[in-house]
Amino acid sequence: MTAESSLSLLVDGERTASRSGVRVLSRQAVVRRLLALDEAGKLESVHVRVAAGSAGVSRRTVWRWLAIARESGRVAPVPRRAAFTFTDVLWDRLSEVGGNVAALHRWMMDHVEEVLPLLGREALPSLATLHLAVRREYSRGRILKAARPRYARVDPAAYDRALAELELPGTVDEAGRASAGPAPGKVAGTADASALSFTGGVRLYVPGAHVVSTRQLGEVAEALAHTVAARGIVCVYGDPGHGKTVAVHHALRVLPRRIPVRRALVAVKPALPQLRAALLTAFGLPATALTNRTDAADRALLEAFRAPGVLVIDDVQRIAAPELDYLRLLVDAPSTQASLVLCGAGAERSLARAPALASRVLTWQQVPRLDGARVPAVLRLFHPLWDPATDADLLHADTTHARGNFRTWAKVTSHAYAALARTRGAAVDRALLAGACSRLGPTL
C-alpha cells in the first residue's frame, strides 16, 4: 500500500472537517492514522508530509503532534485558557486605586474569596497578566473613571497655608496690600533676594518682583468668575504683553470656590488629532491610546466635560477654524458642565473665523494697555527698584519706549536691576532708564 492510499481515509476525513470548519477533528484524524501506521511499522516521512498537507500545517507541527501522542496518548489539543479580562467591578476598583495595577493585585490577594467568584477562575492572575490586561483595555479605548494621581501632589489648602507662612513675594493690589499676611517672626515688606522670577507661570525677569492687581486684572477676575458660574465660554484678548495670561492666572486664584482647573497646551496650527491629544492630556486621559481612536476619544472627552470645572486654552490664535469648531461640538453637548477660557493675542480675530463658536462666547474681555497716569504707581508696586525714580522719568520712558506694555516694563526693570548691580552708586534716573531701554531692540 502506498502512502497516498494509506492516507486516503485521512484525506476524506480532512475534507469533511474542512467543510464543517472544525480544526480539532482534523488533528485527531491525522494523529490517530499516523499512530496506527506507526504501530504497524509502516510509518514513513512521506506519510507525515502528506498528512501535513491535508491538515494545512507544517511537517514540524505534525511530528510534534505525534510526539505528544506517543508520550501521553493525547491526540486532541489542550483547549487554551481564555485571556484574562477585567470585569466592571475590578475596573472600578482599579479606578479607586488611581490606576495602580500592583495595588489592585495586592487587593485581590487579600480578598481571594470575593474575587474568584467574580472571575470564574480557579486561581488569581499574576501581576504580569494584570499589566497585559490593562494595556489591552487601554488599546481598546477603555478609560479609568478617575485620573491617575500625580506623585508628590500637595493638597491645595496645605500648599496655600505653607505659602502664607513662608511669606514669599506674592500678589499685591494697587494700594500696596499683600495678598497674605506676614509670617510670625518676620518683618512685613521684606523681600528675599533669591525669590523666583516666576509667578503663576508668568516670567517677571527680575528677583523680588510682584504681580500687581491692577484694574485690568480685577475686570478679568470679575468676568471669569461670572462665566464660570454660568458654565459658559469667556474670551480674553488683547495685544501681546498687556498681561492677559497674568490676568487669567490671577482670576483663577481668586475664584470664590475651588474647582478643578485644567490647562491645554496646543501647538502651532494643530491638526485635529493633535488638538484631541492636547485636550486628553489636560484631563489626565491616556492620549497615546485614544488620539487616533476617534469615537473612543470623543466619548472620553464628552465624559470629561460632564464634570464642572474650567478648561484654559492659552494662545488660542494658534488653532485654525475647523479645530475651533471641534471645541464648539464639545462645549455644545447637552451634558457639558465645564467652562472654557480662551486666551490669546488676536483670539477675537481667530474666533471670528469660527462664527459657530464665537456666537456661543458668553463674555468678551479685552485687556488694554496700562493707563499712562497709573504707570508710576504700578511700577513702584511691581518692584522697589522704582521707588526713587521720578514720575516724569517713568512717564517719559513709557511714552517713548514701553507705551503701556507691562511685559516691556518687566524687561526694562530687569536691565535696570542689572545696571544698578554692576555700577556702584548709580541712581535711578533718566540716564539709567535710557540705557535699559536701549537693550529692548531696534523696533518695538
**Sequence spans of domains, the chain:** 3-72, 88-139, 225-366, 372-440
Question: How many CB atoms neighbour CB 24 within 10 A?
Answer: 12
Question: How is domain 225-366 classified at the CATH fold level?
Answer: Rossmann fold (3.40.50)
Query: Rounded distance, CA 59 to CA 49, Å?
Result: 6
DSSP for 319-365 reads: S-HHHHHHHHHHHTSTT---EEEEEETTHHHHHHT-HHHHTT--EEE
pLDDT of the residue at 360: 92
Instruction: Answer whether 311's CB lies under 8 Å from 339's CB.
Output: yes
Task: Return the minimum-mean-pLDDT range out of 181-185, 210-214, 217-221, 286-290.
Answer: 181-185
Residue with the bigger pLDDT between 193 and 246: it is 246
Task: Return the minimum-mean-pLDDT range out of 59-73, 88-102, 127-141, 169-183.
Answer: 169-183
Instruction: Name the pLDDT band for 381 (thresholds 50, 70, 90).
Output: confident
DSSP state of 122: S
CA angle 168, 173, 179 (to 5 degrees): 40
Question: How many CB atoms neighbour CB 400 within 10 A?
Answer: 12
Give yes or no for residue 68 having a pLDDT over 80: yes
Mean pLDDT of 153-180: 48
Give yes or no for residue 25 having a pLDDT over 50: no
Average pLDDT in the chain: 77
Give yes or no for residue 303 having a pLDDT over 80: yes
Give yes or no for residue 154 having a pLDDT over 50: no
pLDDT of the residue at 160: 52
Give yes or no for residue 76 having a pLDDT over 80: no
Instruction: Name the pLDDT band for 175 (thresholds 50, 70, 90).
Output: very low
pLDDT of the residue at 342: 94
Instruction: Name the pLDDT band for 343 (thresholds 50, 70, 90).
Output: very high
Instruction: Answer whether 26's CB lies under 8 Å from 17's CB.
Output: yes
Instruction: Name the pLDDT band for 310 (thresholds 50, 70, 90).
Output: very high
Query: Rounded distance, CA 80 to CA 171, Å?
Result: 65
pLDDT of the residue at 65: 85
Give yes or no for residue 210 having a pLDDT over 80: no
Instruction: Answer whether 239's CB lies under 8 Å from 370's CB.
Output: no
Give yes or no for residue 209 having a pLDDT over 90: no
